[in-house]
Amino acid sequence: MLNDVGQGGSGLNAGACGLIDRFGRHVRYLRLSVTDRCDLRCVYCMSEHMTFMPRKDLLSLEELERLARAFIRRGVSKLRITGGEPLVRKDIMQLFAALGAQLDAGRLRELTLTTNGTCLAQFASDLARCGVKRINVSLDTLDPDLYRSLTRGGALANVLQGIDAARSVGLAVKINAVALRGNTVAEADRLIRFAHDRSMTVTFIETMPLGDTGVDRIEQYLPLDQLRRSIESRWTLSDLPLRTGGPARYVRVAETGGTIGFITPLTHNFCEDCNRVRVTASGILHTCLGQEDAVDLKAVMRSSDEEADLERAIDDAIRVKPRGHDFVIDRNGAPPALSRHMSATGG
Ligand code: SAM
Ligand code: SF4
């Protein structure tokens, strides 16, 4: 376990939120990227030959914990560990254990993980022991050849084993699938059956134009209203009022009793009730996934040991959180809306 440094700083009561932006949105949800590296190279996320951050720029595990604790003190109650692939970061379970202690102390309400699942079989029981209850696993296809091609080399069997291991230790698993033209319409039924047979929600996500991946985004882009129409021609869907504070809209499938989510950053903007911010593995705070705004919290942490300085930097950044993104996938072959990749920002 990492050092159990004192609370320091302002320290809000559990449940109170000090992070309120100028539009009155309460920021309670932090997505913390612990690495920009990954064992896969998904075609919508990375280029085949990615340049990763210099190691000196990566936050240490101690710095990641310090940062998380500062956000928790300012009112963040939900923390998602992401990347890159979080489970390839060396000794990452030390960070989970330290953050699990925040759960135990009642300072944090939920600790979750987004993973590609390739290393999940190894870490599922440790995650459960650290207090993780729910995880998202990214899985775009159940066809091993297509999986290998979409991930540029990944083995589907590892992910399926990982999902089994996670479920067997009691983790609730959600499946995330990026909707891709030419693949997902044909894959959707299998993914729905696979997920619902195991009481898992499957959520389809529109591709976002983040970073150059060496693949044409127009070729990949499948608007989710098209996918939904296709699914609806075979399954009986009814809209659910369920909102999780996130961008997904949910439907119930009458035939399975299971749930499908749709995340549509391009066809429907979801910014008005956004309650989340992201920190990259190098400590850059992005208060909006789709804007260039950035505050270097690593620089603040490395120049001062004072928790109050770090909290002030966080507060100042939240105050000017942008109203929303303006993603467009442009038919004229425009460059990506943002130069940074999803794997760097933390999905
Ligand atoms: N490696 C982990 C994984 O794949 O789950 C965590 C990081 S990954 C960047 C987080 C999520 O972002 C994944 O569900 C992935 O499918 C999604 N993602 C990556 N690039 C995307 C893009 N350009 N548009 C939409 N979703 C994307
Ligand atoms: Fe890796 Fe996740 Fe990006 Fe795929 S989506 S390349 S698994 S970070």
Q: Sorting pLDDT into bands at 50, 70 and 90, what band is 14?
A: low
Rounded to the nearest whole angstrom, what is the distance from the C-alpha of residue 71 to the centroid of ligand 2?
Answer: 25
User: Span 234-238, mean pLDDT?
Assistant: 97
User: Span 140-144, mean pLDDT?
Assistant: 97
The CATH architecture annotation of domain 29-345 reads Alpha-Beta Barrel (3.20)
Rounded to the nearest whole angstrom, what is the distance from the C-alpha of residue 343 to the centroid of ligand 1?
Answer: 7
Of 205, 210, 218, 341, best ligand 1 pocket probe by most atoms within 8 Å of the beta carbon = 205
Q: Sorting pLDDT into bands at 50, 70 and 90, what band is 178?
A: very high
- Ligand closest to Cα of 213 equals 1
Q: Sorting pLDDT into bands at 50, 70 and 90, what band is 74?
A: very high
Q: What is the mean pLDDT of the chain?
A: 87
Of 45, 113, 159, best ligand 2 pocket probe by most atoms within 8 Å of the beta carbon = 45
Q: Give CB contacts under 8 A, 24+ apart, made by 109-112.
A: 109/14, 109/77, 109/78, 110/77, 110/78, 110/79, 110/134, 111/79, 111/81, 112/78, 112/79, 112/80, 112/81, 112/136
Which protein residue has the closest C-alpha to ligand 1 atom 23?
A: 208
User: Span 152-176, mean pLDDT?
Assistant: 98
pLDDT(5) > 50: no
Of 315 and 292, the one with more pLDDT: 315
